[in-house]
Structure 1
Amino acid sequence: MKKSTTPFYDILGISSATICLVHCLVFPLLTILPIGLSHNPFIDLIFAVMGLFAIFKIINKSSLLISTILVISMALIWISVLSELFLEIHLDLIFIGGIGMIIGHFLNYKNHKQS
């Protein structure tokens, strides 16, 4: 088994994925209120870049299962973000990817604590 990485990147990944998931769930509700908010897909892009940075630091040093969960989750997030940026199509894959990122980082964090 490969040695786990530092918990800093797991905490960064868990935090960014959780904030992104909350953003994706709450923000559509806020847009129906008459306060002038509109959705900006570049915010999703910022969260995706933060998550990508975190998993690049983690996947080389984590187990195959954790690496697979993180890579598949990140791919789902990027597919959703890029389809929204370029095609203006909102896919719900971002929710599945966000949950997968939280689970993958949490598993890696727990694995690191046990080592």
Structure 2
Amino acid sequence: MKKVSTYFYDILGISSATICLVHCLVFPLLTILPLGLSHNPFVDLTFATVGLFAILKIIKKSSLLVASILIISMSLIWISVWSEFFLDIHLNLIFIGGIGMIIGHFLNYKSHKK
């Protein structure tokens, strides 16, 4: 059985964080239109779970800087998701965490190309 490298998890993390960031930026604009859309926090929870899975596989083999960026970013995302899920408060920490996830995965991806 072939061992999956962290390259795959970096691509998964970059993709998930980018899609999540686009979702978080575009969806509030779509709720203005009379389409009957409402925000569902389970979508954010799904993105956060995929991101958590990716970083748990990566932080074991990454540098301290990359691991710190990923852990702090994921913590910000989870704080935002749980506050929205339980308290119905939307925090903008999710945007900072999403950008941090993209940067952390990109730095880790670049370190493997050397």
Report Cα offsets for 1:65-98 as digits up to 9, x if no partner: 0000000000000000000000000000000000
> 2:73 aligned with 1:79, yes or no?
no
1:47 Cα deviation from its structure 2 partner: 0.1
1:6 is displaced (CA, Å) by 2.3
Q: Within 1, Cα distance between the matches of 2:112 and 2:100?
A: 18
What letter matches 2:68 in structure 1? T
SS, match of residue 45 in structure 1: helix
How far does the alpha carbon of each residue in 1:21-68 deviate from its partner, in whole angstroms, 9 at most, with x for none?
A: 000000000000001100001000000000000000000100000000
Regions of 4+ moved over 4 Å: none
Q: Percent identity?
A: 82
1:44 aligns with 44
Contact 2:6–2:57 under 8 Å retained in 1: no
In the TM superposition, residue 99 of structure 1 has moved relative to its aligned partner by 0.1
Where in structure 1 are there 5+ consecutive unaligned residues?
none
User: Normalising by the residue count of structure 2, what TM-score does the alignment of the two structures yield?
Assistant: 0.95
The root-mean-square deviation of aligned C-alpha atoms, in Å, is 0.6
Q: Report the counterpart of residue 25 of structure 1 in structure 2.
A: 25
Aligned length: 110
Aligned residue type for 1:16: S
CA contact (8 A) 2:80 2:91 kept: yes
